Amino acid sequence: MAERTLIILKPDAVQRGLVGSIIARFEQKGFQLIAAKFMKISKALAQKHYAVHKGKPFFERAVQYLSSSPVLVMVWQADDVIKMSRRLMGETFGTEAQPGTIRGDFGCSHGFNLIHGSDSPASAEVEIPLYFKPEELIDYPLAQAHWLYGPPDEA
């Protein structure tokens, strides 16, 4: 099975009308969308999401930001999807991100950062169930897989 990652298009991405442009980048890269949910994250869920940062100076600000407005929560899968999606996103804030990345092209804030992506397989395993039940993850054959990855290895 391909690797999975949680991607959240945060309140600023939704409010700025960037959802389609950002999704297009993941689709064009060849990632497979297996779940999506438009929602408003509660403060309690945002606290669970950022639990690893509890006690840090930015924790409350991050919780407030994530729960301030609707978001689009998605699960994407592909071989090495976490590494590739982190590169697509760019550095944490648009002020530091390289052009050609999502944050580099669309971000100009040092506070809002448009998008969240799991930073490791372990993080994805914790984050995905916060937002999706197992039956909400739709696994299906990707028609273009041959053209993305080449023919299956012969054993």
Catalytic amino acids? 116
Among 80, 93, 74, 72, residue whose Cα is nearest residue 29: 80
Sequence-separated (6 or more) residues with CB below 8 Å from residue 104: 90, 91, 94, 97, 98
Closest of 105, 118, 108 to residue 24, by C-alpha: 105
